[in-house]
Amino acid sequence: RGDLLTESTIIHALENGWLGHFVGDVFTPEPLPASSPLWHHAKVTVTPHNSAVTTPDDVVTAFAENLERYEAGGVGALKHIFGWEAGY
């Protein structure tokens, strides 16, 4: 999805009135660089890239699996880690 539209295409469509507002959650590159003009455009909303609703059972399952992974191999064995360097 992120490679279907370019930043310049989105901005061009907004500035020419062909598009009233753009909402996006997937970009190329991912994550969207801080230098992207989309972050500050009045007619753009950047949303988190969420693929599904999370239920309490899902959270418990993921936590239990990660606890086992941590006990067996430490932090390096964990899954679903937030990456400050990557921005997500």
Token output for 58: 């899902």
Q: How far apart are CA 22 and CA 38, in angstroms?
A: 9
Exactly one of 1, 12, 40, 80 is catalytic; which is it? 1
User: Residue 44 pairs with which residues in a beta bridge?
Assistant: 22
Q: Is 69 a catalytic residue?
A: no
Exactly one of 21, 40, 41, 49 is catalytic; which is it? 49
User: Residue 45 pairs with which residues in a beta bridge?
Assistant: 23
Q: Is 49 a catalytic residue?
A: yes
Hey, which residues are catalytic here?
Answer: 1, 49
